[in-house]
């Protein structure tokens, strides 16, 4: 079914904000973990991995949903370069939202670590081997990809603020319907 052209469906909004808050949770979990020791640190890492694998599933669902539901066009007055920049940032965000959990999953697989989902079940490990050394390289990649994600999120949020306070259009309203719609 085609979506109304001026608003996102509840599913799109829910997926956008659940994933955004999950990313924030990931950063907070790791920050806290880096400052504590003992069994609590292990628990936080299990939660980090579980939330990370959930982000992978939610992102795949989101991409599927997005392919089935056409994007809402940006306001007609948006310059071509801005449309291209928005497109590129969104595609890269999806790529990174997959690359983050994938590098974690690959590291766990290479290291032969259990990959529990909140203690409910274990994700299968990929048959890649490589041991601690390969796991370390995937973890290095995990950190590097995260830097890319920080840059993309910064650009993304700045663009949203530019729409709200400089262009003064309804782009932010359609992702945060609580913000009043402009006439
Ligand atoms: C980790 C944080 C975030 C991630 C990963 C993320 C990711 C994305 C992605 C991938 C899209 C593209 C949707 C599509 O397929 O067309 C999108 C759209 C959007 N995001 Fe975010 N986002 C995040 C945080 C935020 C925040 C904090 C804001 C507001 C300040 C925001 C505002 C928007 C808006 C307004 C759109 C719609 C753009 C349009 O309609 O063309 N996002 N976001
Ligand atoms: C979108 C999902 C994820 C995000 C945003 C994320 C984010 C992060 C960040 C920011 C760090 C700290 C990196 C550094 O200090 O260089 C980290 C570390 C780590 N992540 Fe993730 N991660 C995600 C998914 C996963 C998954 C799925 C796994 C495992 C299956 C995982 C396993 C780890 C491990 C083992 C560490 C090292 C922890 C430590 O030594 O304290 N992550 N992650």
- Structure confidence by residue, pLDDT tens digits, 93-141: 999 999 999 999 999 999 999 999 999 999 999 999 899 999 999 999 9
Average pLDDT over residues 63-77: 91
Predicted local distance difference test score (pLDDT) of residue 7: 80
Structure tokens at 92: 């890269």
143 Cβ inside 6 Å of ligand 2: yes
Q: What is the pLDDT of residues 138-166, one digit of tens each?
A: 999 999 999 999 999 999 999 999 999 99
Q: Is the pLDDT of residue 85 over 50?
A: yes
Nearest residue to 23 (alpha-carbon basis) of 158, 155, 153? 153
Query: Closest ligand to 102 CA?
Result: 2
Close Cβ partners of 58 (under 8 Å, ≥ 6 residues apart): 15, 18, 19, 22
Strand ranges (E), 69-145 = 116-117, 121-122
Q: What is the pLDDT of residues 19-31, one digit of tens each?
A: 999 999 999 999 9
Average pLDDT over residues 3-13: 78
Predicted local distance difference test score (pLDDT) of residue 1: 42
99 Cβ inside 6 Å of ligand 1: no
pLDDT category at 5 given cuts 50, 70, 90 is: low
Instruction: For residue 167, give the H/E element and its range.
Output: none
Which residue among 104, 114, 141 is best mutated to probe the pocket of ligand 2, counting the most ligand atoms within 8 A of its Cβ? 104
Give the integer Cα–Cα distance in Å for 151 and 101. Answer: 18
9 phi, psi to nearest 5 deg: -70, 160
Query: Closest ligand to 158 CA?
Result: 1
Predicted local distance difference test score (pLDDT) of residue 70: 82
Q: Is the pLDDT of residue 2 over 50?
A: no
| DSSP symbol at 36 | -
Q: Is the pLDDT of residue 68 over 50?
A: yes
Task: Please give the distance of CA 157 from its chain centroid, rounded to a whole number.
Answer: 14
Q: Is 121 helix (H, G, I), strand (E, B) or coil?
A: strand
CA-143 nearest atom, ligand 2: 16
Q: Is the pLDDT of residue 72 over 50?
A: yes
């Amino acid at each position: 079914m085609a979506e109304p052209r001026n608003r996102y469906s509840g599913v799109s909004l829910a997926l956008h904000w659940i994933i955004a808050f999950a990313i924030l949770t990931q950063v907070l979990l790791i920050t806290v973990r880096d400052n504590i020791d003992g069994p609590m640190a292990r628990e936080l890492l299990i939660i980090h991995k579980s939330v990370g694998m959930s982000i992978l599933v939610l992102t795949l669902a989101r991409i599927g949903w997005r392919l089935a539901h056409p994007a809402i066009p940006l306001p007609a007055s948006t310059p071509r370069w801005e449309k291209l920049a928005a497109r590129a940032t969104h595609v890269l965000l999806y790529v990174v939202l997959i690359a983050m959990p994938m590098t974690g999953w690959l590291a766990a697989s290479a290291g032969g670590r259990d990959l529990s989902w909140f203690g409910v079940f274990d994700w299968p490990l990929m048959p890649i081997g490589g041991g601690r050394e390969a796991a370390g390289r995937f973890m290095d990649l995990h950190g590097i990809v995260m830097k890319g994600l920080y840059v993309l999120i910064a650009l993304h949020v700045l663009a949203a603020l530019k729409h709200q306070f400089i262009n003064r259009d309804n782009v932010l309203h359609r992702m945060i319907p609580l913000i009043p719609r402009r006439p």
